[in-house]
Structures are given as C-alpha cells and as structure tokens.
Structure 1
Amino acid sequence: MFGCVIHGRGDLRVDELPVPSPGPGQALVAVRYGGVCGSDLHYWRHGGVGDFRLREPMVLGHEVVGTVLSYGAGASGPVAGTPVAVHPATPCGVCPECVDGRANVCRDTRYLGSAARTPHVQGAFAAQVVVPAGQLRALPSGLGLTRAALAEPLSVALHAVRRAGAVAGRHVLVTGAGPIGCLVVAAVKAAGAARVTVTDLLPRALEYAVAAGADSVVRADDAAGPGWPQEVDVAIEASGVAAGLDTCLRLVRRGGVVVQLGMLPSGQSPFAGNLVVSREIELRGAFRFDVEFDEALALLAGEPRFDALISAVVPLGEAEAGFALAADRSRSCKVLLDFGTHNS
C-alpha cells in the first residue's frame, strides 16, 4: 500500500508501505480522506512543530476517516464496512492528568503522526491503518465521509470554546482565520455567541470566516479600518503568532478571558503581560481535545455550512501539491487527501 511520509524538512514522499494487520485490541481501517493539518505543514516546511523535531521518517496525518475492515483478537466495534472517524489520541489513563479527567494533556499520550516522542508515533496518511478499536467512532446518520474529515480540527475548536467558558450572548474575538480559526467561529456560534469578530491578514481567509458564521471581519493590519471592536468579552487566539495574542489582550474587557489556541513558535514569545495583571485578564491555554470528538461529529451531521470550508480534495499521488495548496492560505482553507484509489 502507499502512504504519505515525511523524511525531513521539505522532503515529503508517497512511499510504499507494508500492509498492516490488526493485533489484539486493534482495528484495521481503510482510510478514505485525511485532512492536512497545520502541524503536518510544519513538519513538511520546518522539520518539526513547536518543540517537536523530526528524528526519523514518519507517516503524517491524524485527521482521518474511512471504513472498518477487520479486528484483531479480543477487539470489537462498528461492524466491517461501517464508515468511521478515528480519534487520534491514545492517553495513558494513569497519569495525574488522565486521572483528573484531562486526558488531552496526558504526559504520556500517543498521538497519530507526532514526533513528540522517539520512536515517533506513525500517522494515518496511508491506505490502511491499524488503531486501537476504542478510537473508532461510527458516523452519525446523514454525515458523509468528506465532511466527517473535519471532526478532529472541529474537536480542537470545541475544546478551545470549552476552555473559554460561557460564550452565550457574548461578543467573541477570534484572531486568525485559518482552518482552526474558522472552525472556532462555527463552534462559538453553535454555543450561542451573540457576535463573532474575526481578524486576519488575508482577504480570502476572512471570506472563509464569513462562510463559517462570522458576523464581522477585519484586516489585522488595518488598525484604523471599520469593524474593529472597542472591546470584546472573550478572545480566542488561533493564529499562532505573538501579535495575535497581543490583539486579544488589548481588546478583551477587564476581567475577560483570552484563550491561546494557536501554537506559538518555540522559545519565548513577547506579550503584554502587564495587561493580564492590571485588567485581571484570565489567560488560558487550549491543547487538542478529548470528549469533544463525539460532540464534533454530532455538530457536523447537522450543519452543511461546514462543507464550504473544504477547499479541495487531492489524490494521494499528488500529496505534495496538496500540501502546497494547504500552505497557501490565499487560496485554501481545509485541504483533504483522498486515499480511495489506493484501497482497491
């Protein structure tokens, strides 16, 4: 079979891989679609993401959907042929964070397509993949595989909204209108936000934000332009740059909440820390997700608006072109790789 493997910075290949067999407790899935995530792009362009650096070839991908093929000994789940989404995390279940109900920050988790540990955890951008059977989720009625491929990034957005607290009836600022930022917009609207303002540097990205449900959008580099709010109740930083965090801290009301969702560059990042003190702003981090995965699938099943965020579906054989498109935010939002032709 074939898969999408990163060998180093700028070295992305479609390699022939051995066909896996499910072991005890495992399921074998025929992957149909995989969403290209910002972390996949970082591995491709920079050889790592945040503090996680590539040390060996790694199959990329953690946003995958497909159909069940078979199970290993002692494993059970949706019957063969069932369309499923794959939850990409395998927390340890015993560390203090897991015991405290915060498995998303498990100190010993395994996450598909991650270089956080060595050997790396191989990802799911392959025609077939083996995963723990408990990580399969049958798709709700009416949810097709294409839209279901948004479940993992939408889960990230839903977790950020949960970290923000009550947003119903409030004005929410989202800095950054990439795929995650746009899904945050959809998530806060679903949670009852009265108004959502989005900032970004790119006009096309702001168009996607409007498609996701933004009430107003503003150019991040046009401080004098119309649409800038004087104050917001909650701010979610989804751009992953220090300037976005600075904007959130300066616009959120006194006593408001800022959620840092975008992964900032490794090392130190400057920010207006004095505002956290003088305005008693609550600055909260948001990392990955846990139980939000099932919530994401339910939300996707009932909202066709999400389809507008899928910019393109690219065959696996053209993976590098797909990555280049996903990296060009002036042309795309979410790009999917299609593994269907490699499953026959």
Structure 2
Amino acid sequence: MIDSAIAATLFGPQDLRVIEHSLVPLAPGMVRVRFKAGGICGSDLHYFRHARTGDFVVTSPLILGHEISGEIVEIGGAVPGLGIGDHVAVNPSRWCGHCTRCAEGRANLCENIYFMGSASKTPHMQGGFASLFDATPAQCIKVPRHVAYQAAALAEPLAVSLHAVARAGEIRGRNIILFGAGPIGLLTMLAARFKGCGQIIVADIAEAPLAFAKKLGADRTIDLSGGDDRLQSLVVDKAIDIAFEISGTAAGLAAAIASVRRGGTVVQVGNLPGGQIPVPANAVMAKEIELKGTFRFGAEFNEAVDLIVGGNVDVLKLVTAEHTLSDAPAAFRLAADRARSVKVMLTTD
C-alpha cells in the first residue's frame, strides 16, 4: 500500500516545491488516480508569481493543478462504469448538485463547489499536480487508451473555452475578436471556429503568441504592443460582433468594449487583477453592449472530452514543452515565458 505521494506545492510567490505528502486511506465512494499528465494554466501561473489569482489569495500551502488526467489505481467500493486501470480525464469540479444554482442548471456557479487547486476557500482545495490524488467517480471521465494523456488533460481548458463561446450566444457566422493569445485564447479561437463563427481576429501585445495564433488559423492578428491605433479601423468598419477579453487586463477589457460594434457582445473570460479596476461603462451603455461574464464550465467538460476523443479539436497543437512532475518549478518558469512557450505540460516521472 502506497502511503505517500509527491506534489507540486506552493508556499508563497515563486516558492513552488515538489515535496512528499502523506496519503490518508481512500474514503468510501472515492477514486484514487495516478497522475499521468497536467497542463499549467494561466491561473496556476498567477498563483506561482503572486500567490494569488484575482481575489483568491493563498494563505496556506496549496497543491496546484486542475488540468489533469491519469489512471485509476484504487476505488473505494463499488463504482459502476469505472475500473482499476481505466484512463480518465479528471474534471476538477465537484458540484454539490442540490444548491439553487445547481438546480438552475448552472453547476459552474455551485454555492458549495470544490474546485481542485484553488484558494477560493479556506482551507484551500488541493489540486492534482500530485503523483497520486483522490477524486469522486463523477469527476472521472473515461477515455480510450489510444487518446494521449496530454490530450485528455486539456479537456479542462477546452471546456472553459466552450463555455465562453456558449455565453457569447449565437456565434455562427459572427465576426469575433479575441484579446489574449495564450492557451485559453487559442482554444477559444478553435472552439469558436468549430461552432461556425465568421472571421477571427486575435490581438495581443507579444509577437510569438500572435504568430502561433496565425499558425492555428486566425484570419488576422493585431499587435497592440505599440498602442491600439490598429483597432480604430475595426471600430470604423463596425465589423466585430463579439469580443472575448482573455488577457486578464483592464486594458484588454477596455479594448474589447471599444472594438465591438453597437449592440455587440463582450465576454470577459480573463481573470482580472483583484480589487477595483476602471471600466469604460459609458460605452457599454451608449453602444448597448451585452457585457457577459463566464466562469469555468458546466456540462462542457464532457463535450470537450468528446471533441478530443473524436478528433474534432486537436488540443495537442498547443503543447510546446513537457517536463516531469518532479521538475515542476522549472516547468512553471518556462510556462511564464510567453516568448518560449504556449502550453507546458507536466507528465509522470
């Protein structure tokens, strides 16, 4: 019986250590998963840099990781549909299923949610960057053995992107702009394309991510590093129906509001800095813009797994590097360098 596991644990800003944790006996009705692959997310990087993401502040050691896949090695009792040795994509969300939001069909807004690798509650909810971790059966979605663990792990960010596209409303034939060409921005681009959107424009302040977006199929890219003058033609053309703010910056949100046409839609995907930020609210009013938030995902996780398994969205195109779990600090440093990486994956040792 294995009684310990190694885990990438955050103690403070840029203080990430791979340390050994004791394992408690598996609780009845739970599943123990051996980590196989995990993607480093933008929120993981915020935690790594600042020991916080948005308003969620790390106040005690936190195991990071919520884009994860693995192999079932132990089951606490009878769990129909799952068996030892199954390959699974792990949904980091544990929804209660009985609160008002769950009853409304908005499980992503569950009032009692447990979300792996998050400091939104105290005690913190530990994540999946651990050689062994526990999950509920409902979190474990079986995938065929031919599907790479790395692809299965990326079901989570694809689900985030699918939910963002769903929040935008009718997208078929609509022209869109995405502010932020990181992994979520690129996956939102792929999700929007799959759902039948019109022209896709991607804006960012870094050359390398924009080149990657072009490679993945963006119709046009805009480099905003020298200012937003190139956005003015979009405003004049009145051509942008939907803008996705994914950069997580106040400037990105302002640009999204400025660039979308009158009566258009802005979807805030990025996690903005904590506290109060300036927003051009008069433009929201005068242009009668629909400004929508999007938070995590609901049923889109299963949809994302199906799209990956079916080959409809090739998420592995985003992977630019892999490091073993024991080398997590180096992997995080690489992931933080946008000039050298898009999506960095952790894999089993």
1:192-207 matches, within 5 Å, as: 192-207=196-211
- Aligned match of 1:53 in 53, 57, 63? 57
TM-score normalised per structure 2:
0.93
User: What is the Cα deviation at residue 91 of structure 1?
Assistant: 1.6
User: What is the Cα deviation at residue 261 of structure 1?
Assistant: 0.5
Provide the C-alpha distance between the structure 1 equivalents of 2:303 and 2:119, rounded to a whole number of angstroms.
27
TM-score normalised per structure 1:
0.95
Q: Deviations over 1:260-294 (max 9, x none)?
A: 00011011111211111111100000000010011
Aligned to 1:270: 278
| Aligned partner of residue 255 in structure 1, secondary structure | coil
1:164-313 matches, within 5 Å, as: 164-222=168-226, 223-225=228-230, 229=234, 230=237, 231-301=239-309, 302-303=311-312, 305-313=314-322
Aligned to 1:79: 83
1:68-217 matches, within 5 Å, as: 68-140=72-144, 142-217=146-221
Count of equivalent residues: 340
Amino acid paired to 1:128: L
Task: Please identify, of 159-168 and 65-74, the stretch whose mean Cα deviation from structure 2 is larger.
Answer: 65-74
Task: Please identify, of 23-32 and 279-288, the stretch whose mean Cα deviation from structure 2 is larger.
Answer: 23-32
Q: Deviations over 1:77-116 (max 9, x none)?
A: 3222121100001122222111111110112211001111
Residues 208, 308 of structure 1: 8 Å contact kept: no
User: What is the Cα deviation at residue 300 of structure 1?
Assistant: 1.9
Provide the C-alpha distance between the structure 2 equivalents of 1:3 and 1:227, rounded to a whole number of angstroms.
48
Residue 18 and residue 74 in structure 1: after superposition, are their counterparts in 2 closer, same or farther (change >3 A)? Answer: same
Residues 77, 136 of structure 1: 8 Å contact kept: no
Question: Identical aligned pairs, as a percentage?
Answer: 43
User: What is the Cα deviation at residue 127 of structure 1?
Assistant: 0.7
Residue 337 and residue 65 in structure 1: after superposition, are their counterparts in 2 closer, same or farther (change >3 A)? Answer: same
Aligned to 2:347: 338
Amino acid paired to 2:28: P
User: What is the Cα deviation at residue 59 of structure 1?
Assistant: 1.0
Residues 93, 99 of structure 1: 8 Å contact kept: yes
User: What is the Cα deviation at residue 60 of structure 1?
Assistant: 0.8
User: What is the Cα deviation at residue 315 of structure 1?
Assistant: 1.1
Provide the C-alpha distance between the structure 2 equivalents of 1:312 and 1:227, rounded to a whole number of angstroms.
36
Residues 269, 295 of structure 2: 8 Å contact kept: yes
Residues 87, 145 of structure 2: 8 Å contact kept: no
| Aligned partner of residue 160 in structure 2, secondary structure | helix
| Aligned partner of residue 156 in structure 1, secondary structure | helix
Stretches of structure 1 that go unaligned for 5 or more consecutive residues are none
Residues 72, 86 of structure 2: 8 Å contact kept: yes
Provide the C-alpha distance between the structure 2 equivalents of 1:13 and 1:216, rounded to a whole number of angstroms.
41
Tell me whether 1:314 sits opposite 2:314 in the alignment.
no
Give the RMSD, CA atoms, in angstroms: 1.7
- Aligned match of 1:329 in 335, 338, 342? 338
Aligned to 1:9: 13
Provide the C-alpha distance between the structure 2 equivalents of 1:57 and 1:306, rounded to a whole number of angstroms.
31
Provide the C-alpha distance between the structure 1 equivalents of 2:321 and 2:87, rounded to a whole number of angstroms.
21
Provide the C-alpha distance between the structure 1 equivalents of 2:225 and 2:183, rounded to a whole number of angstroms.
20
